[in-house]
Structure 1
Amino acid sequence: MDLTPAEIAARAAAAGAAIKQQVADAVQRHLDAAVAGRNYSSAAAAVSYVGDPNPLWDAEARAVLAWRSAVWTACFAALDAVLAGDRAPLTPEEMVAELPPLVWPE
């Protein structure tokens, strides 16, 4: 069965969206797991402490905020490169391995 160009494009878009979602889910799990050791339930919960009167919590929140931004920036740049054909597809594990590390304040 031959596919029309529109059908090929639709299948490629669906495959790209599925890969993007799998990677995004893995990255979100990574973000949340990285902060769990400091007793935050999620990266979003950690970031909610920005401006907290406790200076340690505020500093940790600011570190997570900057890290979370760097992680998503790297993730979406890599996914865009994959979808543009500029690099090989990534597994969720490969994407997580490429992400910048979280550096906690001292």
Structure 2
Amino acid sequence: MLGISVAVTTGGFFLIGISENLPMLYFGSVWIGVGLSWFLPQTQLMIGGAVSREQSTYAYGVNGAISNAGQFLSALILGELAVGMGISDERGMILMASWGYVLLTIFCIGLTLLWNRRRR
């Protein structure tokens, strides 16, 4: 489910990136929300399954801190990439982020397949 949720989120980013009107932009935002609503519970289940019950709360906190650090760093990285690639408009930034999500989708699907193979 993790790979699917990231793929749905990616689709939402692409819809926003190619939107020509406000309804299409809103539709893309809804897709992103659907993808994230599947992603977050799945992440919590994966953390809960990876550590003992006593360690879960701490592991959730560490995951939150890491994800916040990633959000902070991604703005810096995207800013530098945009300058290097000559992107200066919002649509270009959204499309660049969408391609990043494509790579993330491929990574998450591979990770999910690897995890399922190891569980068996």
What TM-score results when the alignment is normalised by the length of structure 1? 0.45
Q: Which has the higher contact order (CA 8 A, sep 6+)?
A: 2
Is the helix fraction higher in 1 or 2? 2
Q: Which has the larger radius of gyration?
A: 1
